[in-house]
Amino acid sequence: MTEQILPENLSRDAIIDSQWKQLTGLLKAIETNPFWMKRLSDLDVQPQDINSWEDFRQLKPLTKQELVIDQNENLPYGTNLTYPRSRYTR
């Protein structure tokens, strides 16, 4: 049986490393997401420009209003889709 590694058993550095790995995976995924690519472009940033937590902290936080505007302007789901709509159906 494999021992389960729980976050509460990890050091702070190990948690930060794990979070960074997850974030870099998301940064690769957003390259196919029109909403995020436009948002980053508007901020004059490319996903590959984010190489550290400090780079990430410099980004303007996303607001709910930005998501609402995008969805209202791009009915029915907005452009915050990483995959074609057909991939989101059951």
Q: pLDDT band at residue 6, thresholds of 50, 70 and 90?
A: confident
Alpha carbon separation from 72 to 19, 76, 86, 90 (Å, rounded)? 32, 8, 20, 24
Q: What is the pLDDT of residue 3?
A: 65
Res. 4: pLDDT tops 80: no
* Joined tokens for residue 59: 């980004």
Q: Is the C-alpha dihedral spanning 1, 7, 23, 21 positive or negative?
A: negative
pLDDT value at position 88?
A: 81
40: DSSP letter:
H
Residue 7 confidence (pLDDT) above 80 = no
Model pTM score: 0.76
pLDDT tens figures, 40-90: 999 999 999 999 999 999 999 999 999 999 999 999 899 999 888 888 876
